[in-house]
Structure 1
Amino acid sequence: MTAVFQFVLLSILFHGISSEPGKLSFASYYGDHMVLQRAPQRAVVWGYASRLFGSVTLTVTGAGTGGGTYTSRVSPHPDVGGTWSVTLRPVNDTKPYTIKLTDTRNTEELSDVLFGDVWLCSGQSNMQFTVNMSYNASVQLEDVANYTSVRVFTAREATSSVALRDLKAVLEPWSIPSKASLDGTEFTYFSDLCWLYGRYLHDHLYYPIGLIDTTWGGTAIEQWSSSTVLKKCNVTPKPLHDSELWNAMVSPFSSMSLFGVIWYQGESNAAEPSTYNCTFPGMIEDWRTHFSSNSDTRPDFPFGFVQLGAFRNDSSITTGFPDIRWHQTADIGYVPNNRMPNTFMAVAMDLPDFKSPWGSIHPRDKDTVARRLVMAALSVAYNLTLGQIQGPFPESFQVDSAYMTLYVRYADGNLAPIRSNKGFEVICSPYDKYINSHHVHDGADWSSVPIIQSDDTSLTLDLQQACANQTVAGVRYAWRESPCDYKACAIYSRYSDLPAPPYYVVGDLP
């Protein structure tokens, strides 16, 4: 008895496979009107076989130069009979193609297939937040005819206790943008941030963009992370929930080639934020490992994310969201950095929407978020120099004891006139109590200090009320769940109008 025959027999006995193998088909996330990853990467196409032994032929035809014929052997699979997989040669033109799959008895076909950059959009409800829920929904829906080469796909919510190769179900197959394909029921399809990100990318790149929406509201990062990440970060297992969305809603896509990922999540981890500075960078690294191992996705593919926005209309809350924002940068304050290479982010804390009909945790201005995210993506992911990708970040601090002031210096002469004199806090000690401490708990005595002077390179903070006859041991900025009114935080860049991210420095002041 051959090894292959033994494998198939055991599959039939222990996995319930009938003696009639599955129908010849493509995997669930391939379809008419889809976008496959363009050159220099190679797209992967795979699916199921109608005959357990033998081979299938894949023929790619179209008006462009990327056609060809490929053959794949059918491999036994314990759950579905047999599978096949083909890695295409790189395609860099924008013309539509037809992909025909055949074996000795059957034929399946994909039509109007474009080659472009495929981005996966994932996270919880602010990524799931749909086009029809946004401020400018009607304008967006009227403009879709100009973006027919930006294609959309939505995975259905699903969980699994083991990593799957294919999706359990599809909510919205690959579609050309239209009112029907974008204007689904709230929190179903299509993601507003994902759509805006894709169309603004298209405005700069002028070639097809494929957008995959795989999201679930109210979910924690542990659900989107593999067991490898959770073990590395010493996360206590929750067997019914941990890794279930990685298994069912992300792992399947690792068998196709992607260009990059954008992510909006963290609200559900704000109550217990302590491990996020490990799980988030760890999840990014782990996703990169899986995708690059299973397809022609780059091992350092670009990963963008939205730093958490505002929530409640209460300026006194200093825990939870501020901690997650800091941990989203691996406690460095900006990206990319050594712990998070080839990443980019959009600051959203200055876009509160306390009257949102969807709750203040769901601000409706996803347009500004998308524009900020694309500005960063064009630099980090596409190496296009279009100016700064993040708002001002301090270079140094200097205390003038004679005048009880603190100078915060920035680079490039890029500070816009301040929009508020609020946002800074310091912690002080008469005996350098905190100088050697790199983590000060929120219960410590932080005091607000006003900005009393600014120019295009520095700010001056007044310490007289906070630190009279004391040493400045730390400074933080915008360390609030909801730090300011709409686009009215203190610090923005002069030329790109990007808000400064929050930051936290203790023990490192001169």
Structure 2
Amino acid sequence: MAGVSLIVLLLAALHLSDATLRFASYYGDHMVLQKSPQRAVLWGYGPEGEKVTVYLSGPIQQKVSSVPVKEGIWQVTLDPVEAGGPYNVYAISQSSACNLTDVLFGDIWLCGGQSNMYFNTSAIFNASEELALSSKYPHVRPFMAALNMSKTELIDLIQVEMPWFVPTPSVVADFSAVCWLFGRYMYDKLQYPIGLVESCWGGTPVEAWSSPRALKQCGLNQSEDNSMMKSTVLWNAMIHPFLNMTIYGAIWYQGEANAEYHQDKYNCSFPAMINDWRMGFHQGSGGQTALDFPFGFVQLSTYKNGSTDDGFPEIRWHQTADMGFVPNSRMKNTFMAVALDLPDKTSPYGTIHPRDKQDVAHRLTLGARAVAYGEKNVSFQGPFPKEIMLKENSIIITYDKAVSVASSKNIFEICCSEKKVSCETQSIWLPAAIMDWNHTSIRLFVGSCPSSEVAALRYAWRDWPCEFKACPVYDIDGNLPTPPFITNKYSANQNVWKRI
């Protein structure tokens, strides 16, 4: 259809008075739709039996073949559209029409989790400076779902908290800081539109965000009540409605609520939730959202200084499916921002809510660049042990990359076992001081434990292992901390242990 004829037709159609035809709740003016090579999905409601035709008007023009309204719902898939805009989108039936204006095409990231993802930009360090920058990023467009629960899976949101908007300081102030900063940093690198969809709720466990399918995989049963501290109610109301939408990836900040609630299941429930979301979005979008879409997350920061038994070390470990790093064989196409070196003992929002979200978002951005976008030579992981050697009264840890090291007496710990059996986290652990180091390895003093009886080694295994950016082991540039780890010499597949 010629451009002039298309515009005339659309303008005429919009004079129709019947407003029955409409888009689903999370489509709106100023939104971002997923760019090529994926195809954006649009859907909404209309008069039963009528046919809906969708038109795209802007830098390119597009007409989508008419689709019927079935059970009050219509859905179309656009042809691929390159990044850019603005566009107007028109949906027209025989009796009514509706439209979206100032639509951009770019990458859409879903931001989920609990209170540290919900944490507002107005509350972070240097908030006034960050908010003043927001209007300089008109192509980073946020959207926020309202807090709602449901006993059953919903096809649409019950309520929208913030419709899509062009950033201004007053509105960004009430939006997720991690989500906003991640989007802003990604725009700086990609230079095309970024859509940010916030759907999170403070104090919630992973079970609330998981489908019954995912829970069943981990031996967890769906709760029969609708308490948000149980299962599926937020999946039903705040994730399931988005499944038809084409997205590029997701970032996640959660785990605190599981430190005491099904803690021992988190090494299953978290990976299961990720894989189940991937399947759900892939199917809901008709295959447009990738079946293995990139998923980034923040490893837990800190809460109680001096604590070793509040569940935070275990959850950090379980966040990696008990491997210590990602991506790995159980958590493919994932990336992680380590945050245990970013405590905030004077946070007015409680120590569980550190205000430095800039470093968190920056570390997420590094992971996204490397994993989600395949950028070469981007360092996004801290050093991790590749070999542990026992030699006389010492342990030599060799890392998979160059390290920068500061002295520490108690962040490394060993467990002795005369019977040569694996140690558990509840076992007696003794500090192992750093003796010396070079650019690839660290030597620890094992003290009163004979090297032949050293059965396990762990690092940073406490809630608050070090002060702000002052852990002893980072990458060679001093930017990315080594994640916490625990390794047992007598466990299966512990081939990192050597004796010389």
TM-score (norm 1): 0.89
- For 2:111, what is the secondary structure of its paired residue? strand
Query: What is the 5 A alignment of 1:254-273?
Result: 254-272=243-261, 273=263
Q: For residue 410 of structure 1, report the CA deviation from its aligned partner.
A: 1.1
2:40 corresponds to: 43
Aligned partner letter, 2:214: V
More deviation, 196-205/96-105: 96-105
2:24 corresponds to: 27
Q: Which runs of 5+ in 2 are unaligned?
A: 1-17
Q: Which runs of 5+ in 1 are unaligned?
A: 1-20, 185-189
Aligned partner letter, 2:65: T
2:82 corresponds to: 92
More deviation, 365-374/442-451: 442-451
- For 1:76, what is the secondary structure of its paired residue? coil
Aligned partner letter, 1:71: S
Aligned partner letter, 2:331: M
Aligned length: 468
Q: Distance in 2 between matches of 1:322 and 1:170?
A: 36
Q: Is 1:166–2:162 an aligned residue pair?
A: no
Q: Distance in 2 between matches of 1:101 and 1:347?
A: 45
Q: Distance in 1 between matches of 2:316 and 2:110?
A: 22
Q: Is 1:494–2:476 an aligned residue pair?
A: yes
Query: What is the 5 A alignment of 1:64-213?
Result: 64-65=59-60, 67-77=61-71, 82-184=72-174, 190-213=175-198
Spell out, residue by residue over 1:171-205, the C-alpha distance to the aligned partner (whole angstroms, 9 max, x if none): 00000110122123xxxxx0000000000000000
2:348 corresponds to: 357
Q: For residue 445 of structure 1, report the CA deviation from its aligned partner.
A: 1.3
Q: Distance in 2 between matches of 1:377 and 1:388?
A: 11
Spell out, residue by residue over 1:454-473, the C-alpha distance to the aligned partner (whole angstroms, 9 max, x if none): 110100000123x1475111
Aligned partner letter, 1:31: G
Q: Distance in 1 between matches of 2:68 and 2:446?
A: 72
Aligned partner letter, 2:363: R
1:305 corresponds to: 297
Q: Distance in 2 between matches of 1:172 and 1:244?
A: 21
Counterpart of 2:405 (choices 408, 414, 417) is 417
2:467 corresponds to: 485
Spell out, residue by residue over 1:276-316, the C-alpha distance to the aligned partner (whole angstroms, 9 max, x if none): 011000000000001000111000100000000011122x4
Stretches of 4+ aligned residues off by more than 6 angstroms: none
Q: Distance in 2 between matches of 1:471 and 1:457?
A: 25
Indicate if the aligned counterparts of 2:19 and 2:96 stay in contact, CA closer than 8 A.
Answer: no
Q: For residue 22 of structure 1, report the CA deviation from its aligned partner.
A: 8.8
Q: For residue 428 of structure 1, report the CA deviation from its aligned partner.
A: 1.0
Indicate if the aligned counterparts of 1:160 and 1:248 stay in contact, CA closer than 8 A.
Answer: yes
Taking a change above 3 Å as real, the CA distance of residues 385 and 421 of structure 1, as seen in their structure-2 partners, is: farther
Q: Is 1:235–2:231 an aligned residue pair?
A: no
Q: Distance in 1 between matches of 2:270 and 2:390?
A: 35
Indicate if the aligned counterparts of 1:72 and 1:85 stay in contact, CA closer than 8 A.
Answer: no
Q: For residue 144 of structure 1, report the CA deviation from its aligned partner.
A: 1.2
More deviation, 86-95/303-312: 86-95
- For 1:317, what is the secondary structure of its paired residue? coil
Spell out, residue by residue over 1:320-346, the C-alpha distance to the aligned partner (whole angstroms, 9 max, x if none): 011111011000110000101000000
- For 1:339, what is the secondary structure of its paired residue? coil
Q: Distance in 2 between matches of 1:71 and 1:90?
A: 15
Aligned partner letter, 1:43: A
Q: For residue 101 of structure 1, report the CA deviation from its aligned partner.
A: 1.2
Counterpart of 1:326 (choices 311, 317, 324) is 317
Counterpart of 1:222 (choices 207, 210, 213) is 207
Percentage of pairs with the same residue: 46
Indicate if the aligned counterparts of 2:135 and 2:169 stay in contact, CA closer than 8 A.
Answer: no
Indicate if the aligned counterparts of 2:215 and 2:269 stay in contact, CA closer than 8 A.
Answer: yes
